[in-house]
Amino acid sequence: MKSKGVSFSIVAAASLLALLALFGALWPARLLAGPLRQPPEAAGDVLISFAPVVKKAQPAVVNVYASRIDRRPRNPLFDDPVFRRFFGDGGNSRPGGPTAQSLGSGVLVDRSGLVVTNYHVIEGMTDVKVALADKREFDAEIVLRDQRTDLAVLRLKGGGDFPVMDLGDSDALEVGDIVLAIGNPFGVGQTVTQGIVSALARTQVGISDYGFFIQTDAAINPGNSGGALVDMKARLAGINSAIFSQTGSSVGIGFAIPVNMVKIVVAAAKGGGRQVRRPWLGASLQIISREIADSLGLDRPAGALVTDISPVGPAAEAGLKRGDLIVAIDGQAVDDPESLGYRMATKPLGGVASLSLLRNGHSTPASLKLIPAPETPAREPIKPQGNTPFTGATIINLSPAVTEEFSIRGVSEGVVISDVEEGSTAAAVNFQRGDVILSVNDAKIATTRELERATSGKHLYWKLTIGRGGEVITTVIGG
């Protein structure tokens, strides 16, 4: 038995050597030549290694560290339980309280030092530092915050001629394409994971106003936010933003903002803008349910149903009517209001877009002007002074442009809180950007001047009606 076992081992070894010799003869000579590698030129090359893609893309991926010191004082307004329930528990902070911190990733997109990351990575933060893949660290200023897309642009202070990542074309992606996710999960350091494009044009995710996400099974974890989703040509395909998970860790369902949306935000930052101006539709839209689709004689529930039209605006000028179903824009299919919003938001201002409508069962074309929402009335900002809940807030008039900018829903009149100073009374009350003030002490508020008059003088109490996130609440607090 022992001699047979030895004989079998010798035979197996000889066979293995023969196979290795044959494999070596068939293996491409360029793989045996040494460590020099190039980005893959053919689909088959990807089977060898992702290292060339990583080497080209990784230097442009950075780690983002954001922080702030919470100095908001305790405010007696929070003694009112109804007010506290609506506005949160922000009044429990103490001066010199703990430092709020955020960890994420980002992508260098311009050699001057412009970095794209997620809005939620730097939301509410005042101090931002960026660490490059080569261990260099820089302070960064926040150039542009775009909450509607969950994107932000930073500029590194000092240095120059930074490594950058080429921007790809997210419309060219297909389900099944191989992608890499590069970021800093859990703060362990820059990490690369691999997967495929699991789905495209994911809407109804609830992450941002322009939900049109790339879904991937490449592992994305906390800290990956703002990092790069990279295609096999080492180009940016999207910005990793969120995961679907019940544990907080990756379960193979991650979402990235398409790079074509990133391009619009970067272009606005390069142009010196503090906000992104986008084409305005001037109409309210509704998603198509199965029941509505059946009533319209459609074979599937797809399209954006027009439910209301502004008296003056691009939709009215284009001849749109209530009940019209928008099914395509510039030849690209529209499955729901979010996909239409994304397609419009990625178009530059100026020119015309071609809409395809279904009206009373018939196909109807329409030409839509790509213009921004108007600033009518003018913002006329004010900063209330004295003993009022609004002290420390900047308040502006409501207009179509402001409604678009702050994603205001459910109200069509009032004035809007556009900014809140840290440490102010308004901050202690936990007022937020985009809150709509509808009335003060039963006085209807339509302009900032009316709010000034309503908050002048002494008051024993404040009866406030506020709109936030489509909800309207009235509460009374002590003066």
Active site residues: 120, 150, 225
Instruction: Return the closest-CA partner of residue 277 out of 373, 381, 419, 352.
Output: 373
The residue type found at 32 is L
| Residue in 239, 131, 137, 149 with CA at minimum distance from that of residue 187 | 131
Phi, psi dihedrals of residue 92, rounded to the nearest 5°: -85, -5
Per-position b or e across 449-473, b if 16+ CB within 10 A of its CB: ebbbebbeeebeebebbbbbeeeee
> Is 264 in a helix, a strand, or coil?
helix
Provide DSSP, 1-32.
Answer: -HHHHHHHHHHHHHHHHHHHHHHHHHS-GGGS
* Burial group, residue 299, by CB count within 10 angstroms (0-12, 13-18, 19+): exposed
Strand partners, 415: 397, 437
User: Which residues have C-beta within 8 Å of that of residue 76, sequence separation ≥ 6?
Assistant: 478
Q: How many CB atoms lie within 10 A of CB 125?
A: 17
CA distance 222 to 278: 30
Please provide residue 69's backbone torsions phi and psi, each rounded to the nearest 5 degrees. Answer: -95, 125
Q: SS3 of 172, please?
A: helix
Neighbouring-strand partners of residue 439:
444, 465
Specify whether the CB–CB gap between 178 and 196 falls below 8 A: yes
What are 364's two structure tokens? 């109807």
Closest CA to 66 of 40, 103, 96: 103
Say if residues 336 and 306 touch (Cβ distance below 8 Å).
Answer: no
DSSP β-bridge partners for residue 242: 255
Angle between helices 337-345 and 259-270 in degrees, nearest 10: 40
The 8-class DSSP code of residue 315 comes to H
